[in-house]
Amino acid sequence: MGKLIYAILSNKFDFRKLNELLSGIKGITGAELSAISFDEISAVVSEINKADLIADKANAIVFAGVIENLSQHFALLPMRFGSLLDSPGEIQKMIEKNYPEFQKNIQKVENKNEFGLKIFCDTAKLKAEMMLKSDETIEISQNPGSTDNDWVLENI
């Protein structure tokens, strides 16, 4: 058995609210969720057999659903699917070791929402038009392993 980590979150406002929320959510394979904490940071986890951690659509939807539900109530950093440690002690050590970085990153996302934007267009025309309208340099690049229409715009 291991501990699957769904998210790292700030519990500085209400640890009791976190526990109440977790009691109403199920993780992958219907597992109970719990929080492993160090100071004001908690990792939301569930018990799982490594053999049950299958990267399929159903498990991905459950994993994302847990994160979405938690994000409605807490500032959080979602973990990558399959983030697994062997024991609560290892998770607590990981939080303690990375505590300043977790705090800094949680503060960056607190009270923020993330949205995705896809643009389907002729990239040469888009780049030329954006260069005319902006004093900043815009870099347009394709995501690695993406389709022909999946591009990233960045200010540099």
Task: Please report, in tens digits, the pLDDT of each residue of the chain (156 residues total).
Answer: 899 999 999 877 677 788 888 888 999 999 999 999 898 899 999 999 988 888 889 999 999 999 999 988 888 999 999 899 999 999 999 999 999 999 999 988 887 666 666 767 777 887 777 777 765 555 555 555 555 555 555 544
Confirm if 6 and 84 have CB atoms less than 8 A apart: no
Task: Please state, in angstroms and rounded to a whole number, the distance separating the CA atoms of residues 129 and 46.
Answer: 49
Task: Please state, in angstroms and rounded to a whole number, the distance separating the CA atoms of residues 149 and 53.
Answer: 32
Residue 58 Cα to chain centre, angstroms: 18
Please list, in sequence order, all residues whose beta carbon lies within 8 angstroms of the beta carbon of residue 107, skipping any fewer than 6 positions away. Answer: 75
Structural domains in the chain plus CATH codes: 2-109 (3.30.70), 123-155 (no CATH)
